[in-house]
Structure 1
């Protein structure tokens, strides 16, 4: 696996993680 591909995958995973955490947060707070 090339460095660029690894970097892209890590970036995507990070984005998904942040989005998931944000969704969980809004669920707990009850904010649409």
Structure 2
């Protein structure tokens, strides 16, 4: 995995994680 692919993967994970927390808690969470 290249650094570029790793960065894209991390960004996708962040989007999914924040999306889940927004839906579950109804507010923005740092984790």
Cα RMSD (Å) of the superposition? 1.6
Structure with more helix by fraction:
1
5+ residue gaps, structure 2, are: 27-31
Please give the residue correspondences for 1:8-19 in structure 2 after superposition, counting only pairs within 5 Å.
Answer: 8-19=6-17
Report runs of 4+ in structure 1 exceeding 6 Å deviation. Answer: none
Aligned length: 26
Higher relative contact order (CA 8 A, sep 6+): 2
5+ residue gaps, structure 1, are: none
Computing the radius of gyration from Cα coordinates, the structure with the larger value is 1
